[in-house]
Structure 1
Amino acid sequence: MKLIDVAKKALKNFGYHKLGKCNICGNITIFVCIDSNNARNNMYCLFCRSSSRKRHVIKVLLKEVIKTDSTLANIFKTQEINIYNADVNDAISQVLQNYPLYTCSSFSPDIKPGTEIRKGVFCQDLENLTFANESFDAVMTEDVFEHVRHHEKGFREVHRILKLGGYHIFTIPCNFDQTTIVRVDTSGEKDVHILPPEYHGDKIRGQILAYRTFGIDIFDFLKSIGFQTRVDFSSYLDKDMGIFDSYVFCSQKVLNNINEGIWQ
């Protein structure tokens, strides 16, 4: 979106802007609204340009993993936590770019998975991650798994690279009152559309196909592979952090070997 268009939308939605403190960059800021009907994906921080959704992910990371009331900008000064973010060039990466235990990734079919594109940035396929077992304390993915062709394999890969007790903090489109809507049959080598194709915007690859809209059955699946999962829904108090109309999944790895069938 062109800057002039953003400015026009910001003026149009001036009444929805919110003063608060960003939990990513740590600044007192104004959260700028450019679309009041989709607040979770905008309400941008003036300083780091983080969205409401991204700040919600960080809220859960700070509370569940780092166990602090501080901001992301301060964690590398006091913490030794291995973090993997399946996103690049975002507000999180800007803040943690000098944190030695931070890794992020992008995916390109033209680059061999595992290739380090630049320092701390790797090409990764979520269905076949190249990281060693139990490498990370936390993994973050945002609105990604609906686009992963074989999402079960992807979730198992995240489970594999997490340390026991580690967390997968993620967002997905989910209907909590029905089962998963399968949009594409992926049982064969080629995609077979069951429903009219649905595409979502991606800052790197443009429009990408959504294979499914998740449903309540995601909880049983995550439990079956060794995760204990809850959902954090945004509340009135979250508005001070510019978090609106959002929910974030938090899955803790409680079973180390999913073949053992023993909960720990």
Structure 2
Amino acid sequence: MPSPADDASAHAEALELAAAGQDDAARALLADAVRRQLDPEAINDLAVLAHRCGDATEAVALLEALTHLAPDHTAARENLESLREIPAPWPPRLDRIAADGAVAALIEDHAELDPLRPGWMQRLEFERQLSVVHRDDEQWLVPGYCATCSTHQLFRCDWVSTWGGTPNFRERLHCPRCHLNSRQRLVTQLVKAMGQPPYYVYELVTTFYQWAATTLPQVTGSEYLGHDVPGGSVINGLRHEDALELSFADDSFGTIVSCDVFEHVADIDRALQECARVLRPGGTLILSVPFDPDSQTVQRVELRDGEPVHLLEPVYHGNPLDQEKGSLTFYDHGWDLVDRMRSAGFSRAGVVAAWSQYHGYLGRGMQFVLVAQR
């Protein structure tokens, strides 16, 4: 069993690796030492390395734990305050998503999608063949690595939701440990790479919120409970917020996360403006919606005198608070959503395009998550 002297030696070796620019190796070595012995100086240095490796969430969590463990540790308090003032990294670090040689890229201009297109048909064909193999199976397991749990898992897949003759992989491939599906697990990886507290999440009764509340520091969640409910009200333990008129003060959050909510808002531009308002300068919006990068946004419903007027055939998606009816879809989002984010007050905006067999990020040959920085 390693002794305290061995851990001190590992700490010194980690600092030498960091000085040589080998931050990932230094972080791994120092993390092992900290797990064996909670040395305040080592924890502080590990937090600095985590931030340099693009993991601001872990850096803040380590420093917050250290300030409780050693309240008089001046460097930890100063580092914590400075981290909270530093904007999230842009572009986000995506190398861990593409560790298996799959696709992971930040696209800020539509033309940047072109280099990704040659493999699109091959990825779609892989998904089709996987579906053919399991066409007679009610449920099956797909091996992969859950980055949310940091463990290898067997992801559950079925035919409950379909797309074009295949399972809707984006909504399936649930991890048996964290219970998150493919798109949710991808979002957690981006949150880990880009997120900084405090966090606001547009959900409260979901498995994604449970992950956020138990993993991230300073998390606020909410649900939409009706147009006549005052913002910030708590009913039966649920906080109500209207995306078009958030009750929070300006500059309240470091990160906002929305998982498949903004196709259901009545005014997408106003909702994005509210995000920009309550984010602090340098704060990050991480936003997933059903998204077609080669189309423009189509409005399916508009409100007139407070009542929905259908411009196209009504479409409803699942809603944990109304499982019988679901949530009405107001928009089919396309590439102009990136431009709308910039117009709403974000200085940078783009789309993370990702597909990984290893991580179980499948679906339509490519998944997309929108990201923006105020």
Shorter chain as denominator, the TM-score bin is: 0.7 to 0.9
**Equivalence for 1:37:** 167
Alpha-carbon distance between aligned partners in 2 of 1:230 and 1:165, rounded to the nearest angstrom = 15
Alpha-carbon distance between aligned partners in 2 of 1:134 and 1:45, rounded to the nearest angstrom = 35
**Equivalence for 1:233:** 353
Q: Tell whether 2:366 aligns with 1:242.
A: no
**Contact 1:27–1:47 (Cα < 8 Å) also in 2:** no
**Equivalence for 1:51:** 181
**Equivalence for 2:265:** 148
**Equivalence for 1:113:** 231
**Contact 1:25–1:95 (Cα < 8 Å) also in 2:** no
**Contact 1:86–1:106 (Cα < 8 Å) also in 2:** yes
Alpha-carbon distance between aligned partners in 2 of 1:180 and 1:214, rounded to the nearest angstrom = 4
Secondary structure of the corresponding residue to residue 352 of structure 2: strand
1:10, distance to aligned residue in structure 2 (A): 11
**Contact 1:135–1:161 (Cα < 8 Å) also in 2:** yes
Q: Which has the higher helix share?
A: 2
**Contact 1:10–1:32 (Cα < 8 Å) also in 2:** no
CA deviation vs aligned residue, 1:163-212 (integer Å, no higher than 9, x gap):
11111111112222222112123354332222121222212223221112
Alpha-carbon distance between aligned partners in 2 of 1:27 and 1:90, rounded to the nearest angstrom = 22
Residues 195 and 96 (structure 1), Cα distance of their counterparts in 2 relative to 1, 3 Å cut: closer
Out of 241, 244, 252, the residue aligned to residue 127 of structure 1 is: 244
Alpha-carbon distance between aligned partners in 1 of 2:223 and 2:313, rounded to the nearest angstrom = 27
CA deviation vs aligned residue, 1:47-92 (integer Å, no higher than 9, x gap):
12111110111111122236xxxxxxxxxxxxxx211111123333
Alignment of 1:1-264 (within 5 A): 12-14=138-140, 17-35=141-159, 36-65=166-195, 81-98=197-214, 100-109=217-226, 111-117=229-235, 122-186=239-303, 188-206=305-323, 207-227=326-346, 228-236=348-356, 239-245=357-363, 246-253=367-374
**Equivalence for 1:76:** none
What count of residue pairs does the alignment treat as equivalent? 226
Alpha-carbon distance between aligned partners in 2 of 1:134 and 1:176, rounded to the nearest angstrom = 30
Q: Which has the higher strand share?
A: 1
1:29, distance to aligned residue in structure 2 (A): 2.2
**Equivalence for 1:259:** none
**Contact 1:50–1:90 (Cα < 8 Å) also in 2:** no
1:118, distance to aligned residue in structure 2 (A): 7.4
**Contact 2:338–2:351 (Cα < 8 Å) also in 1:** no
Q: TM-score, normalised by structure 1?
A: 0.77
1:160, distance to aligned residue in structure 2 (A): 0.7
Alpha-carbon distance between aligned partners in 2 of 1:65 and 1:148, rounded to the nearest angstrom = 24
Residues 176 and 21 (structure 1), Cα distance of their counterparts in 2 relative to 1, 3 Å cut: closer
Secondary structure of the corresponding residue to residue 158 of structure 1: helix
1:161, distance to aligned residue in structure 2 (A): 0.8
Residues 65 and 145 (structure 1), Cα distance of their counterparts in 2 relative to 1, 3 Å cut: same
Letter in 2 for 1:233: A
Alpha-carbon distance between aligned partners in 2 of 1:222 and 1:41, rounded to the nearest angstrom = 25
Secondary structure of the corresponding residue to residue 166 of structure 1: strand
Residues 100 and 178 (structure 1), Cα distance of their counterparts in 2 relative to 1, 3 Å cut: closer
Residues 10 and 129 (structure 1), Cα distance of their counterparts in 2 relative to 1, 3 Å cut: farther
RMSD: 2.4
Alpha-carbon distance between aligned partners in 1 of 2:327 and 2:136, rounded to the nearest angstrom = 27
Alpha-carbon distance between aligned partners in 2 of 1:22 and 1:102, rounded to the nearest angstrom = 22
Is there any run of 5+ residues in structure 1 with no aligned partner, and where?
1-8, 67-80, 254-264
Letter in 1 for 2:368: Y
44-53 vs 103-112, which moves further: 103-112
Alpha-carbon distance between aligned partners in 1 of 2:373 and 2:304, rounded to the nearest angstrom = 29
Letter in 2 for 1:163: R
Q: TM-score, normalised by structure 2?
A: 0.55
Structure of higher CA gyration radius = 2
Alpha-carbon distance between aligned partners in 2 of 1:39 and 1:242, rounded to the nearest angstrom = 9
**Contact 2:351–2:371 (Cα < 8 Å) also in 1:** yes
**Equivalence for 1:262:** none
Alpha-carbon distance between aligned partners in 2 of 1:234 and 1:160, rounded to the nearest angstrom = 29
Alpha-carbon distance between aligned partners in 2 of 1:182 and 1:147, rounded to the nearest angstrom = 10
Residues 83 and 151 (structure 1), Cα distance of their counterparts in 2 relative to 1, 3 Å cut: same
29-38 vs 165-174, which moves further: 29-38
